[in-house]
Amino acid sequence: MIELFRRDQNPWGQDILIGVSWDLMWMALVLAALFMVGHAIWFRSRAGAAHAAPAAVPPGTPERVVRHTLASRIFHWSMSAAMLALVITAFVPVMGLEIPAWVTIHWIAGVALIAAIIYHIIHAIGWQDFWSMMNFGPSFFRDLFAQTKHLMSASAPEPKGGKYPLDHRLYHHAVLVFSLAAVVTGVIMMMRIDTPFFAHNPYLLTDETTGVVFAIHGIAGVMFILLIASHIYFALRPDKRWLFWSMVRGWISRDVYAEHFDPTKWKATGDSSRPGTAATGALADASVSAPKEDA
């Protein structure tokens, strides 16, 4: 039977919570594998479904459409490196593999994650349309209904969205919730060890409260196994690889833009670094559109 939490006795003989069970780590790995296999089977089952005719490229669309600016890409890859380091140093030692100074590497990666998040918040508020990603208005539920129909029926076309489609926004919100949980509890845990930021204080919290903090931190870590695995899976899929390259190069082709996006929700902006692809258009729908800096 899978255990959810680990408990132990403190020096006074009291039974206390000390964190999540390592069974959850193995369960997350199994669920990630099942999800990838299940999605691959589902995708192959749609292979014979009728496809819509190729979308016409809107007039004036540049050859290269900007999707991610350099600032956005720096954040993405910095956060990715920090999260991978955190997950590896958190769970690989549990598997019996030794990582020298893994605690030090873990908290340094945590500080890097906090810095990346602060950078992203400032960048999103100052240079991007911050609320477009956080929209929960009628358009959100229309997109949710259309996406659900597509998942349930091969005859239902995949809906086109703005720059950030529904599944991207849902993933963003999941990362937001578990990142905040990991950051808040991680800072509290850092106060229990010697770092340049805090003096060692093992008596900051009671034993039971410390156990709750460790449990929340562990749950966030387990969820990141699922989130990272699914993210890498979709980035490497042939049909989704354009998303990966857009995060590397910053742009997508006009054909990809026409195939996957609704020009009434996201009007194209050209890659100014390439001759003959001057920016065209502006934002059309602030609830699902591109960042202001891409306008």
Q: What is the DSSP letter of 8?
A: E
Instruction: Report CA dihedral (194, 197, 202, 206) to the nearest 10 degrees.
Output: -160
Q: Given this model, what pLDDT does residue 167 score?
A: 87
Hey, where are the domains in the chain?
23-42+73-249
Q: Given this model, what pLDDT does residue 19 score?
A: 84
273 and 63 in contact (C-beta within 8 Å)? no
24 and 1 in contact (C-beta within 8 Å)? no
Amino acid residing at 13: G
Alpha helices by DSSP H, listed for the chain, are 23-45, 70-91, 102-127, 130-133, 138-152, 166-190, 207-236, 241-249, 254-260
CA distance 75 to 81: 10
Return the CATH superfamily for domain 23-42+73-249: Transmembrane di-heme cytochromes, Chain C (1.20.950.20)
CA distance 136 to 72: 23
Q: Given this model, what pLDDT does residue 124 score?
A: 84
Q: Given this model, what pLDDT does residue 99 score?
A: 83
Q: Given this model, what pLDDT does residue 53 score?
A: 58
Q: Given this model, what pLDDT does residue 125 score?
A: 84
Reported as half-sphere exposure (CB side, CA atoms, 13 A), residue 146 has a value of 14
Q: What is the DSSP letter of 261?
A: B
Give Cα 195 to chain centroid, integer Å: 28
65 and 270 in contact (C-beta within 8 Å)? yes
CA distances from 273 to 212, 213, 252, 253 (A): 51, 48, 14, 14
Strand 64-66 with 251-253, pairing: antiparallel
Q: What is the pLDDT along the chain (295 residues), one digit of tens a residue?
A: 677 888 887 777 778 888 888 889 999 999 999 999 999 998 888 776 555 556 778 888 889 999 999 999 999 999 999 999 999 999 988 888 888 888 999 999 999 999 999 999 888 888 776 666 777 778 778 888 888 888 888 777 788 888 888 888 899 999 999 999 999 999 999 998 888 888 888 778 888 888 999 999 999 999 999 999 999 999 999 989 999 999 999 999 999 999 888 888 888 777 645 544 443 333 333 333 334 443 3
